[in-house]
Amino acid sequence: MDLNTKVELNNGVKMPIFGLGVWNTDNATAAKSVYAAIKHGYKMIDTAKQYGNEAGVGRGIKQALDDGLIKREDLFVTSKVCNSDQGYDLALAKFRGTLKRLQLDYLDLYLIHWPVDGRYLETWRALVELQKQGLVRAIGVSNFDVQRLSVILQNSDVVPAVNQIEFNPQMQEKDMLAYAAKHNIHIEGWSPLGHGKAMSDPTIALVAAKHNVTPAQAILRFDVQSGVITIPKTVREQRMVENADIWNFELDATDMAAIKSIDKEERSLWYESFGWYGTDTDYGMHTQKWPDSAADYDD
């Protein structure tokens, strides 16, 4: 495996198994981070309208394309439907803004960011339409539990290609992994380092020392060997290089079992308490506003 390694989604689209996340990053920083990541061989970038940095990500991508660092067809770009944009007509209309900010003609993957009850089925119908129109190569969901993912499967002929959820050694989502495997849905893991908490675990330290790697590298290797598409977030160029330097060693069965044993089923975000599953008008958090982004989000 390396940064060119891809998994095949259930509609035949091939997606890199490792990429860069840009959550909680302003537009100027996102542009620099995306450019640096592509320069160092990253092929996948994950953003969302909710992050308020699609415009910055778009600038970083455009610069990389203009400088000949990568071709568009070799880049895999993901964004997500903001909670306040859910519903069939609204999701279709607001998608134009995402493409405009990213300066792209199409997305490789488009996800429902959170399962807003009363809205996500209609939002899913909009994503199916965008895929039919060729504006999105693959579609999926994010932060869906088994119950709500099963509702999608019961009401649509199109099975989500991806469910992006929290995944790290302390939150291994065993039930969701089993359900997703049964239905040919790939799991993509956000917060693969558990907001840094997992790196201080003594088991991780032992595995890292055994392979002469950092705790972060041991964790990221565990994530990808678990078959999870992994998107660590960093704005530091050296850390990007370090995060991606996980291909010259392999965890053996003993290592994998040891790390699996430290699962606490402990979320770094307990999202039910944030109202994501709220009433028809309770959308939870809206788009993050950065000083350089206000004009980009008038759509």
Tell me the catalytic residues. 51
67: tokens are 């400088």
Tell me how far apart the alpha carbons of residues 256 and 245 are, in angstroms, rounded to a whole number: 19
Is 105 in contact with 74 (CB distance < 8 Å)? Answer: no
